[in-house]
């Protein structure tokens, strides 16, 4: 069986952008005859169990169903340890002693670029490594482990955006605090769970070349990617909880039932639907390619579902 998945991070309630991506992930998987898995990405220090419960409850209320138990990342460490050990044995990992400050300084340097690791610690001598460890130990920290990559860039195919080229730097595999990094955990999970379709927000598209590079190193197949358009507020900024009535909970206070929220998300894609099943059936996946972001007028939402200002 092949699967699609939705992989929320339980660091807050899901907002309309997250809910729409989840619905699309579910619909695209079901329509293509795939199974659908729910993966809670709770390895980030911002994760909270209560948000996990609330997120899953909201997704169920929208009508999403998933196969088997929810996959909880923090309970699957064994799979990451094995993949990590194999990278390490192959000499593909090296220690990085850079502090946040070092990384920020490097980004501002003449050839630096924000978010792209310049390889500072890649070829340190034994003495350099000792000095790096001592520097971190003095502030009570451990080195991060980075992947020694052989390319600078990779082009991937996306079902929504077409060809996407992006940076492949020596990205972090295990963080200085001992936790596995998102790119690594996500790739290992997709491989172990037989994920052949990845649907997520367009904001994650820049990570995908790194992830595909790592998949190839691990001998894992590359899934189909759908990076779906973002949901923005009236100012054109990414929707966030602080925008107001954008979560199921907050919308409920203004009279929105789960079915109303589903209908609203449907309208954002040109559909008139009342159930998740209708959504999956009527969705024109190709139309996603022509759609830009969805601009949400939160003040109009606060007027309630019947004002239909949205």
Q: DSSP state, 254? A: T
Out of 20, 26, 41, 106, point to the residue binding ligand GLU (CB under 6 A): 41
The interface partner of residue 63, options being ligand GLU, Zn ion, none and the CB cut-off 5 to 8 Å by kind, is none
Could you tell me where the beta strands, DSSP code E, fall in 91-202? Answer: 93-96, 144-147, 153-158, 162-167, 172-174, 195-201
What number of other Cβ atoms are within 10 A of residue 308's Cβ? 11
Given the rule CB under 6 A, which of 1-9, 84-92, 142-150, 277-285 is the region that contacts ligand GLU? 1-9
Q: Are 229 and 291 in contact (CB under 8 A)?
A: yes
Query: How many Å apart are CA 118 and CA 42, to the nearest integer?
Result: 29
The interface partner of residue 96, options being ligand GLU, Zn ion, none and the CB cut-off 5 to 8 Å by kind, is Zn ion
Nearer to ligand GLU, 12 or 143 (CB): 12
The interface partner of residue 186, options being Zn ion, ligand GLU, none and the CB cut-off 5 to 8 Å by kind, is ligand GLU
Under rule CB under 6 A, residue 136 binds ligand GLU? no
Out of 55, 186, 196, 197, point to the residue binding ligand GLU (CB under 6 A): 186
Q: Are 62 and 276 in contact (CB under 8 A)?
A: yes
Under rule CB under 6 A, residue 200 binds ligand GLU? yes
Nearer to Zn ion, 25 or 98 (CB): 98
161 is in an annotated binding site: no
The interface partner of residue 13, options being Zn ion, ligand GLU, none and the CB cut-off 5 to 8 Å by kind, is none
Query: How many Å apart are CA 168 and CA 205, to the nearest integer?
Result: 12
Under rule CB under 6 A, residue 7 binds ligand GLU? yes
Q: Are 38 and 58 in contact (CB under 8 A)?
A: no
Under rule CB under 6 A, residue 185 binds ligand GLU? no
Site for Zn ion in 118-147 (CB under 5 A): 120-121
Q: Which residues pair with 156 in a beta bridge?
A: 164
Under rule CB under 6 A, residue 14 binds ligand GLU? no
Q: Cα 63 vs. chain centroid, distance in angstroms? A: 22
41 is in an annotated binding site: yes
What number of other Cβ atoms are within 10 A of residue 174's Cβ? 22
Which residue is closest to ligand GLU by CB? 200
Say what angle helices 77-89 and 182-192 make with each other, to 10 degrees. 110
Under rule CB under 5 A, residue 98 binds Zn ion? yes
Under rule CB under 6 A, residue 197 binds ligand GLU? no
Nearest CA to 147 out of 228, 93, 83 is that of: 93
Q: In whole angstroms, how close is the CB of 16 to Zn ion at the nearest point? A: 38
Helix (H, G, I), strand (E, B) or coil at 62: helix
Out of 9, 71, 197, 268, point to the residue binding ligand GLU (CB under 6 A): 9
Query: How many Å apart are CA 310 and CA 305, to the nearest integer?
Result: 9
Query: How many Å apart are CA 143 and CA 134, to the nearest integer?
Result: 10
Nearer to Zn ion, 76 or 129 (CB): 129
The annotation places the binding site for Zn(2+) at 96, 98, 117, 121
Positions that interact with ligand GLU (CB under 6 A) = 7-9, 41, 186, 200, 204
């Amino acid at each position: 069986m092949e699967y699609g998945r939705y992989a929320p991070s339980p660091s807050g309630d899901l907002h309309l952008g997250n809910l729409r991506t989840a619905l699309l992930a579910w619909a695209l998987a079901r329509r293509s005859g795939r199974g659908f898995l729910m993966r809670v990405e709770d390895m980030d220090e911002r994760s909270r169990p209560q948000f996990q419960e609330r997120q899953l409850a909201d997704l169920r209320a929208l009508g999403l169903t998933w196969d088997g138990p929810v996959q909880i990342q923090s309970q699957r460490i064994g799979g990451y340890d094995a993949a990590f050990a194999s990278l390490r044995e192959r000499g593909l990992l090296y220690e990085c002693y850079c502090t946040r400050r070092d990384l920020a300084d490097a980004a501002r340097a003449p050839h630096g670029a924000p978010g792209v690791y310049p390889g500072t610690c890649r070829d340190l001598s034994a003495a350099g490594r000792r000095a790096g460890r001592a520097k971190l130990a003095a502030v009570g920290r451990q080195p991060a482990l980075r992947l020694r990559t052989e390319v600078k860039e990779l082009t991937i195919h996306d079902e929504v955006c077409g060809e996407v080229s992006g940076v492949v730097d020596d990205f972090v595999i295990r963080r200085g605090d001992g936790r596995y990094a998102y790119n690594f955990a996500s790739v290992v999970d997709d491989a172990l769970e037989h994920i052949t379709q990845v649907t997520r927000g367009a904001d994650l598209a820049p990570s995908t070349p790194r992830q595909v590079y790592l998949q190839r190193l691990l001998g894992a197949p590359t899934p189909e990617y759908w990076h779906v358009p973002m949901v923005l507020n009236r100012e054109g900024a990414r929707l966030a909880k602080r925008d107001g009535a954008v979560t199921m909970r907050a919308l409920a206070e203004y009279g929105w039932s789960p079915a109303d929220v589903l209908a609203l998300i449907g309208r954002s894609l040109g559909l008139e639907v009342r159930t998740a099943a209708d959504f999956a059936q009527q969705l024109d996946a190709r139309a996603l390619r022509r759609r830009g972001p969805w601009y949400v007028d939160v003040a109009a939402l606060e007027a309630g579902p019947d004002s239909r200002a949205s």
